[in-house]
A and B are shown apart, each in its own frame.
Chain A
Amino acid sequence: MTVDIATVKRVAHLARIAVTEEEAASFQGEINAILGFAEQLNEVDVSAVEPLTSVVAQTMKMRDDVVTDGDYAAKVVQNAPASDDEFFMVPKVIE
């Protein structure tokens, strides 16, 4: 499988990364090289194989459903590019 320029642009938009025409062309070649490299995975018969979900045989840990952290809103927003009164500020999203 190979990707065309339109697909590269569509994927870049899905990933929310603005790309120029030159970048899209460069990514197209690189992505196709990597997808070409991955073609060899099709040689393997995986019909009876389960996908790996965890490398360690350990049951997912559960903890008590209690509050263990929090109550420091000022710390949460202290690195934000724009914040006001302990809220993150973003461009207007609702008309």
Chain B
Amino acid sequence: MTSANDLTSLTIAEIRDGLAAKAFSATELIKAYLGAMEAARALNAYIVETPEKALEMAAASDARIANGEQRPLEGVPIGVKDLFATEGVHTQAASHVLDGFKPPYESTVTANLWNDGAVMLGKLNMDEFAMGSSNETSYYGPVVNPWRKEGSNLPLVPGGSSGGSAAAVAARLCAGATATDTGGSIRQPAAFTGTVGIKPTYGRCSRWGIAAFASSLDQAGPIARTVRDAAILMKSMASVDPKDTTSVDLPVGDYEGAVGQSVKGLRIGIPREYRIDGMPAEIEALWQQGIAWLKDAGAEIVDITLPHTKYALPAYYIVAPAEASSNLARYDGVRYGLRVPGGDIAEMYENTRAAGFGHEVKRRILIGTYVLSAGYYDAYYVRAQKIRTLIKRDFDLAFAAGVDAVLTPATPSAAFGLEEMAVASPVEMYLNDVFTVTVNMAGLPGIAVPAGLDSSKLPLGLQLIGRPFEEETLFRLAQVVEDAAGRFAPARWW
């Protein structure tokens, strides 16, 4: 029998092979993960662990394997971001306002995973309602990054909002995780933890059963330890879903089949506008290294211009809060979650929402309410949506000129310290998403892949942005980066 430590270090592809070869059982694998989770509670990656459910699902997987009926993700241990509805299991978007909520239904994305044989280990911590870039806005407290600077005990953030997902994958507390990305919430935490995260094209994964933040930007995707593992999970998570009218009627691609395919002749755009003021030299060097790797693999590098890039972040911070203020109106103490009494029904709403939402969420609701209010709607919201048209047009023109994908840094820095940004203005925190937010604004697919370590030995990532529904191209290119850069795992201290 393989040791528990070895079992949690296996990739999803290796789990699939090991279970098929009966080298270990799904139950042994799940027990190894449950032990690792228990030993890693200091990271605060899981809000709720579901060991009974996990062992029950693992037993069912073992029965399937014994009968020769192994499904594509049979026995694969998965952590689920708390934003996804899981039937009968804690689902609160890491918010107090959904206190006690246990949905009587399952999100489409998680249902797809379980139908393919995956096993649920528990619900992962996140920024409240996915609003944050450091996982410090969770009602359940911050997640601690399993990575530390060399020679330092200073706790670092894992990024956000899918900080629990990224930390759990990096610390080997699940083989892969579900995540969501509205402005960078898959790709930024993946970059901060040395993991692979892909935000698929808008409409590729169903949003049904995922608590909505900004409906025109939200998209689910996986975080995993390798490019191949991300491709394997993506195949299962993506689907055409009649329950989500924005789910696009296109067949799901063969993502794993794309991994390892040649990138010879692909045209990679390098956008000059991403060379932002004050960008650390290490990030610039990483970007140049990525260019060199892709060139060596036979890709053609072309300079491109995306002139409206600098307006993406300010436009996002109008559009996303506007949609959030509307989506979060439903949390009023009537149908689910917390209720705080008041003198009349309006006071009950006000008290419930005051006690239920954290500061960041309240601020975004207030901004959204303001920019949608009479007299300001055209000046802010309509203008931001027009700028969004221009941002999308920049990419459309680059793709029309023959560019297959765009290469950029994933984040402007490595992971920063817990509470380091507490005194910063909200705008400074928002700058974390400067390279990722354009992709949501244009609805494109984007993948973050680990590309190296900084001088403090913290992971850094590169981002590849693709044409709509051409995720296969991203997996091909990301594998080239992974092959050249290698894989990165934190040294265990917890």
A47 vs B376: C-alpha distance when bound (angstroms): 17
For residue A67, CB closer than 8 A to chain B, the reply is no
Q: How far is the CB of A31 from chain B (nearest CB, A)?
A: 6
A15 vs B347: C-alpha distance when bound (angstroms): 12
Which of A38, A50, A60 meets B314, CB within 8 Å? A38
**A63 contacts B248, C-beta separation under 8 Å:** no
Q: How far is the CB of B359 from chain A (nearest CB, A)?
A: 8
Instruction: Give A15-34 as 1s and 0s: 1 = Cβ < 8 Å from B's Cβ atoms.
Output: 11111000100110011011
For residue B246, CB closer than 8 A to chain A, the reply is yes
**A37 contacts B314, C-beta separation under 8 Å:** yes
With A17-B354, A33-B425, A81-B333 in contact, do A56 and B386 touch (Cβ < 8 Å)? Answer: no
Nearest residue in A to B313 (C-beta to C-beta)? A37
Which of A16, A56, A75, A82 meets B246, CB within 8 Å? A56
For residue B350, CB closer than 8 A to chain A, the reply is yes
Across-interface contacts of A72 in B (CB, < 8 A): 104
How many chain B residues touch A (CB < 8 A): the figure is 74
Q: How far is the CB of B185 from chain A (nearest CB, A)?
A: 17
**B363 contacts A27, C-beta separation under 8 Å:** yes
Across-interface contacts of B376 in A (CB, < 8 A): 1
For residue B490, CB closer than 8 A to chain A, the reply is no
For residue A91, CB closer than 8 A to chain B, the reply is yes
Q: How far is the CB of A52 from chain B (nearest CB, A)?
A: 4
Instruction: Give A24-68 as 1s and 0s: 1 = Cβ < 8 Å from B's Cβ atoms.
Output: 001100110111011011101010011111111010110100000
For residue B338, CB closer than 8 A to chain A, the reply is yes
- Which of B46-54, B56-64, B123-131, B377-385 binds A? B377-385
For residue A6, CB closer than 8 A to chain B, the reply is no
Q: How far is the CB of B248 from chain A (nearest CB, A)?
A: 6
Most chain A CB inside 10 Å of its own CB: which residue of B100, B329, B335, B357 = B335
Q: How far is the CB of B13 from chain A (nearest CB, A)?
A: 31
**B386 contacts A18, C-beta separation under 8 Å:** no
Across-interface contacts of A34 in B (CB, < 8 A): 317, 367, 426-427
Nearest residue in A to B201 (C-beta to C-beta)? A56
**A31 contacts B334, C-beta separation under 8 Å:** no
For residue A5, CB closer than 8 A to chain B, the reply is no
Across-interface contacts of B293 in A (CB, < 8 A): none
A54 vs B385: C-alpha distance when bound (angstroms): 10
A27 vs B365: C-alpha distance when bound (angstroms): 11
Nearest residue in B to A91 (C-beta to C-beta)? B345
A30 vs B346: C-alpha distance when bound (angstroms): 26
How many chain A residues touch B (CB < 8 A): the figure is 53
With A30-B363, A46-B386, A91-B344 in contact, do A16 and B336 touch (Cβ < 8 Å)? Answer: no
Nearest residue in B to A83 (C-beta to C-beta)? B335
A1 vs B359: C-alpha distance when bound (angstroms): 23
Q: How far is the CB of A2 from chain B (nearest CB, A)?
A: 11
**A50 contacts B427, C-beta separation under 8 Å:** no
A3 vs B363: C-alpha distance when bound (angstroms): 13
Q: How far is the CB of A49 from chain B (nearest CB, A)?
A: 4
**B385 contacts A51, C-beta separation under 8 Å:** yes
For residue B318, CB closer than 8 A to chain A, the reply is yes
Across-interface contacts of A31 in B (CB, < 8 A): 363, 366-367, 370
B residues 199-214 in Cβ contact with A at 8 Å: 201-203
A17 vs B430: C-alpha distance when bound (angstroms): 23
For residue B245, CB closer than 8 A to chain A, the reply is yes
Nearest residue in B to A60 (C-beta to C-beta)? B245
**A78 contacts B104, C-beta separation under 8 Å:** yes
In the A-B complex, the 6 residue pairs with the smallest Cβ-Cβ separation, listed nearest first, are: A55-B443, A51-B385, A81-B339, A18-B354, A79-B336, A18-B350
- B residues sitting closer than 8 Å to A (CB atoms) are 100-104, 201-203, 216, 242, 245-246, 248-249, 308, 310-311, 313-315, 317-318, 325, 329, 332-339, 341-342, 344-351, 353-354, 357, 359, 362-363, 365-367, 369-370, 373, 376, 379-380, 382-390, 392, 425-427, 430, 442-443, 468
Known: A31-B363, A42-B383, A72-B104. 18 other contacts (CB 8 A): A14-B369, A16-B346, A17-B350, A30-B425, A33-B427, A38-B314, A51-B386, A51-B389, A52-B385, A52-B386, A53-B385, A54-B216, A56-B203, A58-B249, A79-B336, A80-B334, A81-B334, A92-B344
